């Protein structure tokens, strides 16, 4: 296959890597796996895929980015598989980002462990009752990634049934092992007590097969992590675009060629009595098969360009608002209303009562504290430490593990403690979670709810007051909710859980208990148990009078979160003249409500807590200007925090930087002058 690709470089125009030099260890690993298992190959693992039973033709369809590429429909590089079926191990979406697959794959193992212990009826086993194992394949250069360490910590702490197969060819593109690290994978694993490990000659098929059989059986039985370091030669190019002659010497290539696993296996077979004629017959048959499959793949159709937007999201079952929004019979306090933080708590409690596959984890959400905002209080006591548990300070693992958990049928709800600390998880959000549904053609949407306390109030300081919605909204493939009151919180939380896609719940800390003056309306009656509020449906929380609208003396404010309360407070100075729209969900966005409201008034203010410049609010103002241009009587106004890199801790500086009702009042006055 590598030879035919090299001989047809003009046809094989998309960048690709091949497994030359790695064939023995890859086949040895593949031959041990059962359909109940999971494996995450990396981008040089075509031999592993062949060993699982995929045909050269199937791989070539991805090589040439054809419509019938069984993995990604022509959207991904060669040897970037995903698979869900009864005849082969499961393969979640595989990205090109080095080492990023380790956390999601470890999440699979954690999910399997959970099913095994608590939902055994949902655990897929082998034909003889074999317990599933997970194999995560990676190159030696990826071992220096910090997220690999996060995964190792969890795998050992939780004793997960996962094998990390490290194929060590001594190169990371043009960077040699000597340049890049002080220890190899085997030595590195030695620093993690509880990680079983072995070094093998990955170019010797017999040694590789015997060791992989032993390791896989060990993990099936003992349910503990194992690292296999397989030393292999790199005989091909790094990729078709980064060619070996660019950076490797003839002596280095000759040294690697001496360990070519193919002639080594050939010699072993001859020693066991296989004849030269038999081997030549096998080789000729393989060459003919590959040539035939390549010819067919070339002729296969290109993707229909009309499908380019398919599979960004999986269809959600939640389309309509259902249930009773204001149910006075539910509340136990004298006012009949609940605060937002309790609405979230009650929603998750009901979810976990109704869905045994729901689990909740993150920093400090477990039994002792129940979240730094007490937003998970009592949940561990009710549901147990296996369903509500603490994690280390590992935002990447918290977020990325949801990929694997979701793949095996769990529905994780996770928490990042403050919006300012979500950035270590961005690799997983961008590279794995957001792209999984699209690049797997809908086979692996990631069903997770990611809770993120957000926003500033009362001197929280520069690392606990940030707003990050614009950064999150730049990642396509995520849904973003931002409730501003208790009823919306509960309804959106239920919808987010039922949505088969990743949903980020941005929850304003200043609204959690309505302690900020003017936010009393964030308390509401608790909705009924079956109340669900669809994502993408905004709400008019304050109406303008028809008289003011007809006289052209009205305006509208498009906002969300704390902005709702600034807007309502400012509107008191302009009775009947201001209409306030609470977006409730930032993506999907209720454009129909926004555009119809702006068109009705002709004057619009977009209000945000974020720093204004280059923000979501500015982008929305631009969209409003384009769609509503002929209805506008004035330029779309924007009010937000001033353009500083962080919110200062001093409360007077905080107030000076951020919007408030008085600043919104000034902006309304300007609008109404037009």
Residues with a known catalytic role: 464
Judge contact between 81 and 38, C-beta under 8 A.
no
Measured in degrees and rounded to the nearest 5, phi and psi for residue 490 equal -65, -45
- Residues found in the chain: 674
Query: Is the separation of the CB atoms in 667 and 635 below 8 Å?
Result: no
- Residue 467's nearest CA partner among 652, 607, 622 is 607
Instruction: Compute the distance between CA of residue 117 and CA of residue 346 in angstroms, rounded to an integer.
Output: 26
CA atoms within 13 A on the CB side of 123: 20
Residues 541, 635: contact at Cβ < 8 Å? no
In the numeric block, the tokens 């040897």 are attached to 79
Nearest to 618 by CA among 475, 478, 469, 505: 469
Residue 184 parent element (H or E): none
Residue 436 φ then ψ, to 5°: -60, -50
Tell me the H-state helices in 591-660: 591-601, 616-627, 651-657
Angle at 572 between CA 569 and CA 576, to 5 degrees: 130
Q: How far apart are CA 376 and CA 388, in angstroms?
A: 9
Neighbours of 369 (CB within 10 A): 15
Quickly tell me which residue has 């699982």 as its tokens.
52
Alpha-carbon distance of 628 to 430, in angstroms, equals: 32
- How far is 441 from 458, CA to CA, in rounded Å? 46
**Gyration radius from the chain CA atoms:** 28
Q: What residues form DSSP beta bridges with 197?
A: 227
**Cα–Cα separations (whole angstroms), residue 253 to 180, 237, 250, 369, 666:** 19, 11, 5, 58, 72
Residue with tokens 């690999």: 148
Cα–Cα distance for residue pair 94/436, rounded to 1 Å: 8
Among candidate residues 89, 170, 93, 177, the one with its CA nearest the CA of residue 134: 89
* 3-state helix vs strand vs coil in the chain, percent to 5: 40, 15, 45
DSSP letters, 73-85, are TT-S-TT---B--
Q: In what order do the strands lie in the sheet with 226-231?
A: 38-40, 134-139, 162-168, 226-231, 196-201
Contact 359, 410 (CB under 8 A): yes
* Helical (H) or strand (E) element with 228: strand 226-231
Structure tokens at 418: 């403050």
Angle 179-185-190 (CA atoms, 0-180°, nearest 5)? 125
Side-chain-side CA neighbours of residue 669 (13 Å): 8
């Amino acid at each position: 296959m590598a030879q035919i690709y090299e001989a047809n470089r003009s046809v094989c125009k998309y960048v690709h890597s091949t497994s030359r030099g790695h064939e023995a260890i890859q086949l040895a690993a593949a031959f041990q796996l059962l359909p109940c298992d999971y494996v995450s190959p990396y981008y040089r693992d075509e031999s592993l895929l062949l060993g699982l039973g995929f045909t050269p033709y199937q791989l070539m369809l991805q090589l040439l980015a054809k419509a019938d590429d069984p993995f990604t429909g022509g959207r991904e590089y060669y040897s970037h598989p995903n698979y869900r079926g009864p005849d082969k191990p499961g393969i979640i979406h595989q990205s090109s980002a080095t080492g990023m697959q380790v956390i999601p794959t470890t999440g699979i193992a954690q999910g399997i462990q959970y099913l095994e212990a608590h939902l055994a009826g949902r655990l897929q086993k082998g034909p003889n009752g074999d317990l599933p194992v997970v194999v995560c394949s990676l190159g030696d250069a990826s071992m220096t990634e910090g997220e690999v360490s996060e995964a190792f910590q969890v795998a050992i702490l939780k004793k997960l049934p996962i094998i990390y197969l490290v194929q060590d060819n001594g190169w990371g593109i043009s960077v040699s092992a000597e340049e890049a690290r002080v220890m190899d994978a085997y030595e590195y694993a030695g620093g993690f007590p509880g990680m079983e490990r072995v070094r093998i000659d990955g170019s010797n098929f017999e040694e590789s097969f015997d060791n992989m059989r032993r390791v896989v059986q060990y993990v099936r039985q003992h349910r503990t992590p194992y690292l296999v370091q397989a030393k292999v030669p790199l005989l091909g190019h790094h990729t078709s675009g980064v060619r070996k002659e660019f950076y490797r010497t003839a002596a280095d290539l000759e040294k690697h060629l001496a360990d070519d696993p193919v002639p080594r296996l050939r010699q072993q077979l001859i020693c066991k009595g296989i004849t030269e004629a038999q081997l030549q017959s096998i080789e000729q048959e393989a060459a003919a098969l590959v040539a035939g499959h390549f010819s067919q793949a070339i002729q296969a159709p290109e993707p229909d360009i009309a499908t380019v937007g398919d599979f960004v999201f999986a269809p959600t079952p939640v389309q309509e608002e259902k249930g009773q929004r204001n149910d006075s019979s539910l509340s136990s306090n004298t006012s009949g209303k609940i605060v937002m933080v309790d609405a979230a708590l009650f929603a998750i409690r009901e979810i976990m009562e109704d869905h045994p596959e729901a689990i909740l984890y993150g920093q400090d959400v477990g039994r002792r504290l129940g979240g730094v905002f007490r937003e998970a209080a009592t949940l561990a006591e009710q549901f147990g430490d296996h369903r509500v548990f603490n994690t280390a300070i590992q935002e990447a693992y918290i977020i990325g593990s949801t990929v694997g958990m979701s793949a095996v049928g769990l529905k994780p709800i996770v928490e990042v403690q403050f919006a300012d600390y979500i950035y270590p998880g961005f690799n997983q959000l961008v590279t794995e979670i957001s792209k999984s549904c699209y690049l797997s053609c809908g086979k692996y949407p990631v069903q997770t709810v990611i809770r993120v306390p957000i926003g500033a109030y009362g001197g929280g300081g520069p690392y606990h007051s940030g707003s990050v919605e614009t950064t999150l909204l730049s990642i396509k493939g995520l849904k973003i909710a931002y409730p501003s009151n208790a009823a919306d919180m509960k309804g959106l939380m239920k919808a987010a859980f039922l949505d088969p896609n990743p949903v980020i719940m941005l929850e304003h800390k200043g609204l959690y208990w309505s302690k900020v003056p003017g936010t009393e309306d964030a308390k509401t009656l608790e909705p009924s148990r079956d109340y669900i509020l669809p994502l993408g449906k905004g709400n008019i929380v304050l109406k303008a009078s028809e008289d003011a609208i007809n006289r052209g003396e009205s305006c509208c404010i498009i906002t969300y979160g704390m902005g709702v309360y600034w807007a309502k407070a400012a509107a008191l100075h302009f009775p009947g003249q201001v209409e306030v729209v609470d977006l409730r969900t930032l993506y999907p966005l209720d454009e129909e409500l926004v555009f119809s409201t702006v068109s009705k008034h002709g004057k619009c203010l977009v209000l945000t807590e974020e720093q204004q410049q280059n923000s979501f609010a500015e982008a929305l103002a631009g969209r409003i200007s384009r769609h509503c241009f002929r209805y506008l009587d004035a330029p779309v106004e924007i009010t937000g925090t001033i353009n500083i890199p962080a919110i200062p801790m001093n409360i007077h500086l905080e107030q000076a930087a951020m919007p408030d009702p008085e600043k919104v009042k000034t902006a309304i006055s300007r609008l109404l002058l037009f």
